Amino acid sequence: MQNIIIEKPYQFVPPHRGTWWPAIIQRFNLYGIYLRKYEGVASYEVRYPERLKESLDAGRGVLLAPNHSRVSDPLVLGFLAREVDCNLYSMASWHLFNQGWLKAWAIHIMGGFSVYREGTDRKSIATAIDVMVEADRPLVLFPEGSTTRTNDHLHSLLDGVAFIARSAAKRREKEGRGATVIHPIGIKYHFQGDIEATLKPVLHELEFRLGWRTLEELPLLERIERIGEGLFCLEEIRYFGHPRNPVDMEARTRELIDQILHPLEREWLQEPGEGNVLPRIKALRSRMLPDMIAGKVSPEERARRWMQLEDIYVAQQISCYVANYVRDYPSIDRLLETVERYEEDLKDATTHHGMLHVVIEVDHPIAVGTERRPKAEQDPLMVELRKRLQTMLTGLGQESKLYAPA
């Protein structure tokens, strides 16, 4: 399990509002250097930056809502900021501020502020609304809530984006500050290297970890699918005791997630949950962690809860897999990110292979009204945001090269 849960009292980290350090970092392209060295992002392209520039020039309160397939996404948005000559504010998970002083400092001075995902963080929400009302910089919120590693597929969106945008719109209207908008941002990574030469050594290592004979004689696509099936069956055996029906992968994934979460939800929340996994996970962690952080549990109980937190993490990772993701459109980009996901799940680390070209596409603004959210089941603002983002990702995904066996 990656170090995403911090067992100590939460302290809000406010955004740095100065411009000197961001100007230095942009001028010398320090984020570009970092992305090339540590994330393999070698080149970039910004499409339709004038759409964002128009909103900034008009003094609108701007929220940028990108998809979130890679950990490099926040830094990649620096290319967009450089293109339109602005700085950004960004809400970042508190665990990122606990991964070394240099990383915490860099996030802070570039406008990042913390959000506590294991509870209700009113200070962070108020800060997000404030910076949108002031409109000194755009605010970045990732509506998927976590990194997904499925660049062409949009996962469930969190309604907090609409709440923050509407709250800012109401205040801006009351104070006579003008319009509030959301710009959907599509981020797409294209791999420009040799996919066969890149993935074969990784697959060899994964097969070795599974205790398999190396399957060099199989086509790359079949080899990837076999490893995926093997990893999934192992989790089914772990939580069910045996593999399940292999026909309906979507139902199979949903059943495995529920098998993991339902016992925990019955214990901590008194009833099993359903639907979007991230809110369910947040609800569980918010009940389990406070006494651990306060030191009110015995060593045995603390160990038991950490085992439960590991199960919750597994459920979150499983939720990021998309049925037939590679088979439906076998692009080299989908092959690469799928194998990276396998690595992450087996080793809690991913090999960065370089040769990534990132496209950042800016959509037309979505006007944010001041009316209350309708009582209907779906929020029309989030429905529109989802439609816009998925349309962009579908178009960008079709630009990927299809895999052709050597």
Higher pLDDT, 215 or 76: 76
Q: Of 79, 66, 76, which is closest to residue 186 (Cα–Cα)?
A: 66
Yes or no: domain 20-192+354-397 corresponds to CATH 3.40.1130.10:
yes
What is the Cα–Cα distance from 331 to 27, expressed in whole angstroms? 35
64-88 per-position pLDDT tens digit: 999 999 999 999 999 999 999 999 9
Say if residue 1's pLDDT is above 70.
no
3-state helix, strand, coil in the chain (%, to 5): 50, 10, 35
CB 188 within 8 A of CB 151: yes
- Please name the residue ranges forming H helices in 41-159: 49-57, 73-84, 101-109, 122-134
348 to each of 4, 169, 369, 401, how far by Cα in Å?
A: 11, 40, 42, 28
With pLDDT > 70 as the criterion, what percentage of the chain qualifies?
99
β-strands 89-93, 180-191 pairing: unpaired
Q: Where in the chain is the domain with CATH 3.40.1130.10?
A: 20-192+354-397
Q: What is the pLDDT of residue 354?
A: 81
Placement of tokens 């420009």 in the chain: 192
3 state SS of 180: strand
pLDDT tens digits, one per residue of 271-325: 999 989 999 999 999 999 999 999 999 999 999 999 999 999 999 999 999 989 9
Q: What is the overall mean pLDDT for the chain?
A: 93
Q: What is the pLDDT of residues 124-167, one digit of tens each?
A: 999 999 999 999 999 999 999 999 999 999 999 998 999 999 99
The string of pLDDT tens digits covering residues 218-265 is 899 999 999 999 999 999 999 999 988 777 888 999 999 999 999 999
Q: pTM for this structure?
A: 0.94
Cβ(326)–Cβ(334) below 8 Å: yes
Structure tokens at 368: 């944010």
Per-residue pLDDT band at 405 (split at 50, 70, 90) = confident
Task: Please answer whether residues 147 and 39 qualify as being in contact, where contact means their C-beta atoms are separated by less than 8 angstroms.
Answer: no
Are 5 and 95 in contact by the 8 Å Cβ rule? The answer is yes
* CA pair distance 229, 137, nearest whole angstrom: 45
44 pLDDT more than 80: yes
253 Cβ neighbours under 8 A, 6+ residues apart: 318, 319, 321, 323
